[in-house]
Structure 1
Amino acid sequence: MSAGVLVTLAMALAFAATHIFVGKLRFLDRTPRSKWLSFAGGVAVGYVFMHVLPELGAHAATFETATGFDATLAEGLVYTLALAGLALFYGLERALAASTGQRMEQEGRDRPHHGVFWLHIAASSLLILVITYLLSHREDTSPLGLVLYFAAMLLHFVTADFGSRTDHPELYDAKGRWVLVAATLGGWALGRVVELPEIAIGCLFAFLAGGVMLLVLKEELPENRRSFFLPFLGGAVLYAGLVLAETYHVSA
């Protein structure tokens, strides 16, 4: 294996370890919300604004070239895919909340129905598959860009997995986390053996962008999270500063 392949494999294994061991991070499970989760949320929001949105613009140019559409229509298609990803995950989050509320009323159990939970895990697995595939097929191919992508996604997985486990810890610990691990390693393996056309990668990235935007804001913004603003701001500012430093270094 080349050094680059070993690096992306190590990153995929770190993602997998997050899925497996998030339940062991007891310091995250507290009210008010752990400052570390607020910091992770800030980094993820920084990733959305400093990487995701600019890269959507870059993929719009790919759409324009591949389809022959004019620039405005191509850009609209990219953002429509991002909106579809956001809408899908918003619908799943609402279904989880409705199922949990219904089960609480009927059975006195603060858990969603199994089918709804597994639908959420399936959608999360699809998102994870795309994230790990893109370890090997990203618009920004610089080493620092890869490190920043890895750091942002690792912290995103911490907050997202913590939320999923909170919804149904028994199912998550028994089977759910292993489904996420399989999606993680499967996405990395696909990235090594399958090279999709640029327009397909653009579609995947746009869908990923919408899902990540929704999940980041869902985990950090609700009032009942009782989040911390300063750690959130610190994470966002730190990530933005690193991206600006990378941009300056590349252009210098």
Structure 2
Amino acid sequence: MDLSPTLLTAAMAVAFSLVHLFVGRLRFLDVEPRSAWLSFAGGVAVGYVFLHILPELAAHGATFTQATGVSTKLAESMVYTLALAGLVLFYGLERAIVVSRDERRSQEGRDRPEHGIFWLHIAASSTLIFVVAYLLNHREDPTLAGLALFFGALLLHFVTADFGARADHPELYDRRGRWVLVAATLGGWVTGLFLELPELAIGCLFAFVGGAIILVVMKEELPEEAASRFLPFLGGAALYSALVLSEVYLVR
């Protein structure tokens, strides 16, 4: 085993874990109107959706065609159906959080969702994080620049996603929720070292997780209730787009 890439992806998994552990300490994010840093991270995350997730979903359609022998059109439909399933599942969880929170606010005066709903959300987020950490060791783009772009976009995405999850129930998140996310991160990375799934299975996982990430990005990075800052958002999207285009046309 080549230790250099292993140590690099290990450092990235640790960085993801540090976000899960210490996002509550980033007090400068908890401001109104929405923090410029969160808006910047939102721009980067949306850039990641359009410049990485959507093109990779299309690329996995070819993998489905080769593995199953079905037509290209049907294979692409299968990939996007899995992505849709991921998006719908996470949308359902987000709605459950909102409904539970509203019910407790009206009945008990507590601005918190039910514990069971919160833990269901943490379990789903952990599954997503596990797959992302697994893919650190199984990226389709093996270049250092490609891995760096993947890491940077997901790191900023986890900042905003964890910030939003913690806002739902700070006590439970700080007590145990963040440790569950850390375990999922490190567990996914370790699994990626010793288990190499077939390309078809990786394609299925990526499609499902891709749909979930699209929903989480749009929910957290394009909020309706918070006054998001357009210029930092635009700056994040423009910077990430420029880096991707540079990697595609200059590095390769």
TM-score (norm 2): 0.98
Are the equivalent residues in 1 in contact too, given 2:87–2:212 (CA < 8 A)?
yes
- In the TM superposition, 1:23-34 aligns within 5 A as 23-34=24-35
Is 1:177 the counterpart of 2:152? The answer is no
Matched to 1:86, the amino acid is L
Matched to 2:210, the amino acid is A
- In the TM superposition, 1:138-157 aligns within 5 A as 138-157=139-158
- In the TM superposition, 1:187-202 aligns within 5 A as 187-202=188-203
Q: How far apart, in 1, do the equivalents of 2:156 and 2:233 lie?
A: 12
Helix, strand or coil for the counterpart of 1:224?
coil
Matched to 1:223, the amino acid is E
Q: How far apart, in 1, do the equivalents of 2:64 and 2:139 lie?
A: 16
Q: How far apart, in 1, do the equivalents of 2:29 and 2:222 lie?
A: 17
Helix, strand or coil for the counterpart of 2:225?
helix
Deviation at 1:249, TM superposition (A): 2.1
Deviation at 1:69, TM superposition (A): 0.4
Is 1:5 the counterpart of 2:6? The answer is yes
Matched to 1:226, the amino acid is A
Deviation at 1:208, TM superposition (A): 1.2
Partner of 2:207: 206
Partner of 2:246: 245
Partner of 2:87: 86
Q: How far apart, in 1, do the equivalents of 2:209 and 2:102 lie?
A: 28
Are the equivalent residues in 1 in contact too, given 2:13–2:133 (CA < 8 A)?
yes
Q: How far apart, in 2, do the equivalents of 1:237 and 1:80 lie?
A: 29
Partner of 1:133: 134
What are the Cα deviations for residues 106-153 of structure 1, in whole angstroms up to 9, with x where unaligned? 100000000000000000000000100000111111110000000000
Partner of 2:159: 158
Q: How far apart, in 2, do the equivalents of 1:91 and 1:125 lie?
A: 16
Q: How far apart, in 2, do the equivalents of 1:228 and 1:7 lie?
A: 33
Q: How far apart, in 2, do the equivalents of 1:88 and 1:14 lie?
A: 27
Q: How far apart, in 1, do the equivalents of 2:251 and 2:148 lie?
A: 15
Q: How far apart, in 2, do the equivalents of 1:250 and 1:83 lie?
A: 33
Q: How far apart, in 2, do the equivalents of 1:223 and 1:115 lie?
A: 26
Q: How far apart, in 2, do the equivalents of 1:3 and 1:221 lie?
A: 37
Is 1:16 the counterpart of 2:11? The answer is no
Coordinate RMSD, CA, aligned? 0.8
Partner of 1:230: 231
Helix, strand or coil for the counterpart of 2:75?
helix
Unaligned runs of 5+ in 2: none
Matched to 1:242, the amino acid is L
Q: How far apart, in 1, do the equivalents of 2:222 and 2:247 lie?
A: 29
Q: How far apart, in 2, do the equivalents of 1:165 and 1:80 lie?
A: 30
Unaligned runs of 5+ in 1: none
Matched to 1:67, the amino acid is T
Are the equivalent residues in 1 in contact too, given 2:42–2:222 (CA < 8 A)?
no
Deviation at 1:223, TM superposition (A): 2.0
Helix, strand or coil for the counterpart of 1:227?
coil
Q: How far apart, in 1, do the equivalents of 2:164 and 2:50 lie?
A: 22
Q: How far apart, in 1, do the equivalents of 2:47 and 2:223 lie?
A: 18
What are the Cα deviations for residues 151-205 of structure 1, in whole angstroms up to 9, with x where unaligned? 0000000000000000000000000000000000000000000000000000111
Q: Percent sequence identity over matched residues?
A: 68
Helix, strand or coil for the counterpart of 2:235?
helix
What are the Cα deviations for residues 17-76 of structure 1, in whole angstroms up to 9, with x where unaligned? 000000000000011110000000100000010111111111100000000000000000
Q: How far apart, in 1, do the equivalents of 2:166 and 2:22 lie?
A: 11
